[in-house]
Amino acid sequence: MSHIDEGTLHAYLDGEVSERQRIDVEDHLAVCAECQAKLDVARALTGRAADLLSELEPGPVQAPSWREIEERAAARRRAAPRRIRLRPGVAWAASIALAFAIGWAARSYWFAVPPLDIASRERAVGALEADRQETPERRQGRGAEPAEPQPASQIARDLRLTEAEESPAQTPLPTTRTAEGETQVAGQVPVTDEMPPAAEREDRFAEANARKRKGEPAEEPSPEEAPAAVAAIEVAGVEREERLADAPADQTAARGVQPPRALAQPTVAAGAAPEGQFVPVQPEEAQVWMGAELRTLPDLHLKRVEVGPGAAVEHAESRLPAIRLLYEDAAGHEIVLIQQWLGNLRADLDQLEPALIVEPSTARAYRWLDGEGYLLILYGDVSGDSLRALADRVR
Amino acid sequence: MDLSQVYREHYRSLVRFLYRRIGDQARAEDLAQEAFVRALEHKPDKPRAWLFTVAANLARDEGRRASVRRRHLTLIKAEAEARPPEPGPEVALERRETVRRVRAALERLADRDREALLLWEEGFSYDEIAEVLGLSRGSIGTTLARARTRLAAALDSVEREGSDEDVAH
C-alpha cells in the first residue's frame, strides 16, 4: 500500500472515514513509520487548531426569544412587495409583452410630443396631411367630394391670431392634387393654359352667384368634366363677385361650378382665426387658385406649395384662397411665403403698412402689400433684417 | 425539524461561528438572527446546514466592507476587556495578545479553508461541511489538513512578526 495522504490522515483523526478505510489506514500505520510520523503531526495540528480557535470565544450570548424572531420575519413579509412567481413560459411571454408595450408607449410618446416651434409644427401638419390626402380612397374621389372638416389652421396661430371663431360653414378647399415629394420652382411660375380668361371667370362667378340666389343646387361635375382647379377658382370668384358687383342673374349653364360653400364664410374680423387647413398642391394649381401669378423667392429651394383659406391668415381676405410656399434656405431654415392676390380689393387694405411681427416664441413674420395687389407675409426662424432682405427679393 | 428547536439548539453555535469569522460579537448576533429570519421565510429542509451557509455568506459580505475591517481591529483590542476578569493584569495582557495573534492568523487563511475549519469546530460533519461549502466530501479532509497546517504556520509567522516589532522597539 502506498503512503497515506494528509487528507485521509486528518479524516481518520476526525473519525470521518468509513470502516473499510479505517482498517486500511490502521494496517498501513502499523507497518509504516513515515506515515505514523505524519499522523502524529496531523494530530498535533488538529489539537492546536482546536486550541487556538477556543481562544476566540464570544462573551455571554443573550438570545432573543423565538417570538421576536418570528415577529421580525412577519414585519419583513408585510413590508416587502408581494412576489408573483410565474412559470418560465409565462414569465417569458410577460417579458416580451412588457417590452412591446414599452416600445409602443415610447413610440406614441414621441409622436405625441407637441412641436416646439412653428417650423416643426407646420412640417408635421404638412406631412400628415400629405399622407392623408394620398390614401387610395381619396385619390379615387379626388375633386368630387369635399374635404373633411379640418383642425384649426396652424398659420393662423403662427401669425398670432387670437380668438378662434368656430365657423360651421368653413370647409377646406377641395383637394385637387397632392404634391408627390418636393417640387423645385425657379423664378416665376408661368401662367398656365388652365387659367381661364378674366372675362370667362367673371361669367362663371355670375352664373354661380345667380344659381345660389335661386336656391338651385349647383351642378356637381364629374372630375373628368370639370377639373377641381377650375371649379375652385370659380368658387373664389363667386365670393369676390359678391363683394365687387352684382352679376347678371340671367346667366345660366355654369360649367364646372361647385356650391360656394368651400370659402363661403363671413368676413373674419381682425384677430379671429377660423378653422382651416392648408393642403399641398402643384405650383400651377396654386396659381389657378389664386387667380394670378405666384410671387416667389428666387434662389431658394421650394419644398412645397399649399393652398388654404384666407380666413386662416390675419388681414387676408377671408373668402379668397391663400397660397403658402415653403422654402428652405442654405442654412436649413424654413422660410414661408404666404400670399394672396387681392386685385381690386386692395383698396380695402390700403392702410396696411409693412410690419414686422415678432411672436412670443421669437418667430418673426414680415407682412406687406405690394403695388400689384398682393398681400404677402414672409416668416421663418430668421432675424427680422433677414426677413426684410428676403422681402425685397420676392418677385 | 422545527425551526424554533433549531434556534434553541444552534443559535449560540451560529453566533460563535460568526464571531470567529468577523470578530464583532454584536454584529455576529445580528447576523445570526438575520439568518433565522430568512430561514422562516425559506423554510429549508436542512435548517442547520442552511443556516450556516447563509451565515457564511453574510460573514463574507461583512468582510468585504472596509469599515468593518477598521472596526474589527478596534474590537480585537477590546475583546479581552469584555471577557470575565482575569486573575491578574499580566495574565490578561497575555491572553489579549494571544487572541489578537490567533485572529490575525485566522485572517490569513483562504475563505474556504477558514470556514471549513470553523464549521468543523462547530461540530459539523464532513458531509455537512461539503454541503455548506459546495465541495465534495472527499476533499474536506484535505481542506481541513491544509487549513490546520496554514493556521499553525500563520500563527508562527504572526508571533515572529511580533517579536521583530518588539526588538525594533
In a domain, A356, yes or no: yes
Q: DSSP letter for A347, please.
A: G
In a domain, A20, yes or no: yes
Name the β-bridge partners of A306. Answer: A280, A324
Rounded distance, CA B105 to CA B148, Å? 11
pLDDT in tens, A65-97: 999 999 989 988 888 766 666 677 888 888 888
Average pLDDT over residues B15-27: 90
Task: Quote the pLDDT of residue A366.
Answer: 85
A46, A52, A76: residue with CB nearest B102: A52
The least confident of A9-18, A50-59, A157-166, A378-387 is: A157-166
pLDDT in tens, A123-146: 434 544 554 455 444 444 444 343
Rounded distance, CA A58 to CA B25, Å? 6
A394 vs A265, A307, A350, CA distance in Å? 30, 18, 20
Show residues of chain B in contact with A4, CB under 8 Å: none
Residues A301 and A185 in one domain: yes
Show residues of chain B in contact with A9, CB under 8 Å: 141, 145
Count of alpha carbons within 13 Å of B49, Cβ hemisphere only? 14
Average pLDDT over residues B114-135: 92
Hey, where are the domains in chain B? 3-168
Q: Which three cell numbers stand for residue A307?
A: 393652398
**Binary contact (B25, A58; C-beta < 8 A):** yes
Q: How many residues does chain A have?
A: 395
> How much of chain A is in helix, strand and coil states, percent to nearest 5?
45, 10, 45
pLDDT in tens, A220-259: 433 333 333 333 333 333 333 333 333 333 333 333 333 3
What three-state secondary structure class fits B2? coil
- What are the φ/ψ torsions at residue A364 (nearest 5 degrees)? -125, 150
Task: Quote the pLDDT of residue A9.
Answer: 94
- In the stretch 3-22 of chain A, residues with CB closer than 8 A to chain B read 5-11, 14, 16
Alpha-carbon dihedral B28, B30, B35, B37, rounded to 10 degrees? 160
In a domain, A380, yes or no: yes
In a domain, A312, yes or no: yes
Nearest CA in chain B to A53: B102
Q: Output B48 or A321, whichever has higher pLDDT.
A: B48
Task: Quote the pLDDT of residue A241.
Answer: 38
Total domains in chain A come to 2
Task: Quote the pLDDT of residue A130.
Answer: 56
Residues A176 and A322 in one domain: yes
Q: Which three cell numbers stand for residue A373?
A: 395687389
**Binary contact (B40, A73; C-beta < 8 A):** yes
Structural domain including A295 reads: 120-189+272-393
In a domain, A225, yes or no: no
Average pLDDT over residues B105-134: 92
What three-state secondary structure class fits A356? strand
Average pLDDT, chain A: 65
Average pLDDT over residues A353-362: 69
Average pLDDT, chain B: 84
pLDDT in tens, A151-208: 334 433 433 333 333 333 333 333 333 333 333 333 333 344 444 444 444 444 345 4
Nearest CA in chain A to B37: A73
The least confident of A41-50, A359-368, B115-124, B141-150 is: A359-368
Asked if B118 is an interface residue toward chain A (Cβ–Cβ < 8 A), one would say yes
Sign, Cα dihedral of A23, A24, A27, A33 = negative
Asked if A168 is an interface residue toward chain B (Cβ–Cβ < 8 A), one would say no
- In the stretch 60-89 of chain B, residues with CB closer than 8 A to chain A read 82-83
Instruction: Number of helices (H) and strands (E) in chain B: give both, helices first.
Output: 8, 0
Q: How many residues does chain B have?
A: 169
Can you tell me which residue has the cell 355670375?
A206
Residues A286 and A178 in one domain: yes
Return the CA Rg of chain B: 17
In a domain, A96, yes or no: no
**Binary contact (B142, A5; C-beta < 8 A):** yes
Rounded distance, CA B17 to CA B12, Å? 9
User: Rounded to a whole number, what is the distance in Å from the CA of B66 to chain A's nearest CA?
Assistant: 22
What three-state secondary structure class fits A340? strand
Asked if B140 is an interface residue toward chain A (Cβ–Cβ < 8 A), one would say yes
Nearest CA in chain B to A61: B12
Asked if A46 is an interface residue toward chain B (Cβ–Cβ < 8 A), one would say yes
Asked if A151 is an interface residue toward chain B (Cβ–Cβ < 8 A), one would say no
Q: Output A370 or A84, whichever has higher pLDDT.
A: A370
**Binary contact (A77, B41; C-beta < 8 A):** yes
**Binary contact (B139, A59; C-beta < 8 A):** no
Task: Quote the pLDDT of residue A170.
Answer: 35
Q: Output B128 or A222, whichever has higher pLDDT.
A: B128
- Winning range, highest mean pLDDT, from A61-65, A208-212, A274-278: A61-65
**Binary contact (A61, B121; C-beta < 8 A):** no
Nearest CA in chain A to B10: A63
Does the domain at residues B3-168 carry the CATH identifier 1.20.140.160?
yes
Q: Output A13 or A186, whichever has higher pLDDT.
A: A13
Nearest CA in chain B to A9: B141
Percent of chain A with pLDDT over 90: 17
Task: Quote the pLDDT of residue A133.
Answer: 54
> Would you place residue B70 in the very low, low, confident or very high pLDDT band (cuts 50, 70, 90)?
low
Rounded distance, CA B139 to CA A321, Å? 94
Task: Quote the pLDDT of residue B85.
Answer: 55
Rounded distance, CA A17 to CA A373, Å? 113
Name the β-bridge partners of A305. Answer: A281, A325
- The answer for A360, left when phi > 0, alpha when psi is -120 to 50, beta otherwise, is alpha
Q: Which three cell numbers stand for residue A223?
A: 372630375
Q: Output A370 or B87, whichever has higher pLDDT.
A: A370
Q: Output B60 or A345, whichever has higher pLDDT.
A: B60
> Would you place residue A6 in the very low, low, confident or very high pLDDT band (cuts 50, 70, 90)?
very high
Residues A279 and A375 in one domain: yes
Rounded distance, CA A48 to CA B150, Å? 11
Amino acid at A196: P
Rounded distance, CA A55 to CA A201, Å? 116
What three-state secondary structure class fits A322? strand
Res. A382: pLDDT tops 60? yes
Q: Which three cell numbers stand for residue A171?
A: 370647409
**Binary contact (A6, B142; C-beta < 8 A):** yes
Q: Say what the ipTM of the complex is.
A: 0.80
**Binary contact (B120, A48; C-beta < 8 A):** no
What three-state secondary structure class fits A371? coil
> Would you place residue A30 in the very low, low, confident or very high pLDDT band (cuts 50, 70, 90)?
very high
Name the β-bridge partners of A376. Answer: A339, A368
Asked if B36 is an interface residue toward chain A (Cβ–Cβ < 8 A), one would say yes
**Binary contact (A11, B126; C-beta < 8 A):** yes
Mutate to test the interface with A, among B148, B149, B156, B157 (most CBs of A within 10 A): B148
Q: Taking CB atoms and an 8 Å cut-off, how many pairs form between chains A and B?
A: 108
> Would you place residue A28 in the very low, low, confident or very high pLDDT band (cuts 50, 70, 90)?
very high
